[in-house]
Amino acid sequence: MSSFDKIRTRIAPSPTGFLHLGTARTALYSWAYARHHGGEFVLRIEDTDVARSTQDSVDQIITAMNWLGLNYDEGPIYQMQRLDRYTAAIEQLIAAGKAYRCYATPAELDAMREAQRARGEKTLYDRRWRPEPGKTLPTPPKDVKPVVRFANPIDGDVTWDDVVKGPITINNREIDDLIIARTDGVPTYNFAVVVDDWDMRISHVFRGDEHVNNTPWQINIFNALGAPLPSFGHLPIILGDDGLKLSKRRGAVSVMDYAAKGYLPEGMLNYLARLGWSHGDDELFSAEQMVSWFDGSHLSKSPAQWDPAKLDWVNGHYVKQIDEARLAGLVVEQMAAKGIAATAAQIQPKVSLFKDRCATVAALADWLAMYFAPVVPSAEDRAAHITDAIRPALTALAERLGALAEWTKPNIQQALKETLTATGLKMPQLAVPVRVMVCGRAQTPSLDAVLEHFDQKKVLERLHSV
């Protein structure tokens, strides 16, 4: 911390798609760490891959960050708006003899690597264009645009104490002179990221495990620039429930896909928090609690496993817990997406009857759809429950329900009881067929409570359609 007067973290997504769950977890940890320490959190857009970066993707990333409540203090800062700064830093390194232009063509480099492979050596750039004492460099060819390479230290080790993985040491002989600017002058990831982390006074870099091999280069570049070193924490990958890396091919990996599927931001945030971090045995906690606990300790070194059943359990907790007016609004959106019109005022009185059995808002909307759209009982349910033996009882019940002057739960209960007495049936024998016809499914909460929320007319129509 000595070189930094404040904890500052960042998330630095490449805008080539949606906000991936892994990036969202990194963002969450970076955000929580900054908030825990009263520091700042920065959003940086790493858009130097011009061919694949889009504004639409930036917008999607920001939407997902907002949805999760990961508010940032600075940004979005776009790397493509900082090209002059990178160029100046590259010139500074070239002038100091810490970077140099390399004119080797791709074909030459292929041949070099081929020869190294043939000799059984590691394929590393052989430093042919690196100025060294007593070495005569070839004359730069006029028709070749050079790249710029970083003159990596030849000897010694790079060591850092990873916040997640503990001490890591790499010998400089293992790494070669990295390209830091392409032929078009655009800096490569490893260079831009260092200049940015330096300029943005980032004290702690959290990112995915896949970047751990980049960190030795980055540390050498920090040192070459005379910039203070941040702390690094590399978070283990997230495996899908099949044990393979979580990927688009095997289910949703976009945060907003989960929003669309009816997960709540509280549930997502809580679930993501536990994917690689723990606080004792706590499983259910708010963002505020996480912030108060998240001090960079108890981060897991081993891969996390995506567990849809646990996500449902966590999310279901918040479906039960959140304000019912908000829940009703979310149900309206879920229904609208399915083409079913309903208002929050119509929905709200009904949510408490069903929400305890729902993992997601979508599941709740699914239940409530029976009040607003026609129901289609399955052929199996009809065959199993709507028998000739039961039809007269359904007609008798419809008559009693039709005669009710006031559509209340006790009156509905009374009509059910009278029908049982008159027909000699037991409650399930009557209730299940009613459920199938009126609700479109054989199981529901208590029948009188479910029926009460319908229009009397609709119940009669559905019973008469037997």
Residues that bind ligand GLU (CB under 6 A): 12-14, 46, 193, 207, 211
Cβ-based nearer residue to ligand GLU, 206 or 454: 206
Q: Taking the CA of residue 298 as centre, how many other CA atoms within 13 Å lie in the half-sphere pointing to its CB?
A: 14
**Residues 6+ away with beta carbon under 8 Å from 120:** none
Cβ-based nearer residue to ligand GLU, 192 or 451: 192
Residue 430, token pair as written in the block: 């009557």
Cβ-based nearer residue to ligand GLU, 215 or 334: 215
Report phi then psi at 296, rounded to 5. Answer: 90, -5
Task: Give the neighbor-by-neighbor strand order of the sheet with 8-11.
Answer: 74-78, 40-45, 8-11, 204-208, 231-235
Report in angstroms how near the CB of residue 12 gets to ligand GLU at its nearest. 4
Are 361 and 320 spatial neighbours (Cβ–Cβ below 8 Å)?
no
Cβ-based nearer residue to ligand GLU, 200 or 363: 200
Task: Please name the residue that has the structure tokens 């009156």.
Answer: 411
Report in angstroms how near the CB of residue 167 gets to ligand GLU at its nearest. 20
* Neighbour tally for 321: CB within 10 Å: 14
Report in angstroms how near the CB of residue 193 gets to ligand GLU at its nearest. 5
Measured between alpha carbons, how far is residue 46 from residues 30, 61, 110, 210, 432 in Å? Answer: 17, 12, 29, 16, 58
Cβ-based nearer residue to ligand GLU, 82 or 207: 207
Report in angstroms how near the CB of residue 211 gets to ligand GLU at its nearest. 5
Report in angstroms how near the CB of residue 47 gets to ligand GLU at its nearest. 9
Q: For the chain, first and last CA: distance in Å?
A: 74
Burial of 295 (0-12, 13-18, 19+ CB in 10 A): exposed
Report in angstroms how near the CB of residue 114 gets to ligand GLU at its nearest. 30
Cβ-based nearer residue to ligand GLU, 46 or 266: 46
Report in angstroms how near the CB of residue 195 gets to ligand GLU at its nearest. 12
Cβ-based nearer residue to ligand GLU, 4 or 313: 4
The alpha carbon torsion through 15, 21, 22, 26 (nearest 10 deg) reads 80
Measured between alpha carbons, how far is residue 331 from residues 119, 322, 326, 348 in Å? Answer: 66, 13, 9, 9
Cβ-based nearer residue to ligand GLU, 219 or 447: 219
Cβ-based nearer residue to ligand GLU, 230 or 265: 230
Cα–Cα distance, 436 to 363 (Å, whole number)? 18
Report in angstroms how near the CB of residue 162 gets to ligand GLU at its nearest. 14
Report in angstroms how near the CB of residue 197 gets to ligand GLU at its nearest. 8
CA angle 71, 76, 78 (to 5 degrees): 160
Report in angstroms how near the CB of residue 113 gets to ligand GLU at its nearest. 26
Task: Please name the residue that has the structure tokens 């004119």.
Answer: 103
Task: Please name the residue that has the structure tokens 């008159």.
Answer: 422
Cβ-based nearer residue to ligand GLU, 211 or 458: 211
Report in angstroms how near the CB of residue 201 gets to ligand GLU at its nearest. 15
Cβ-based nearer residue to ligand GLU, 150 or 318: 150
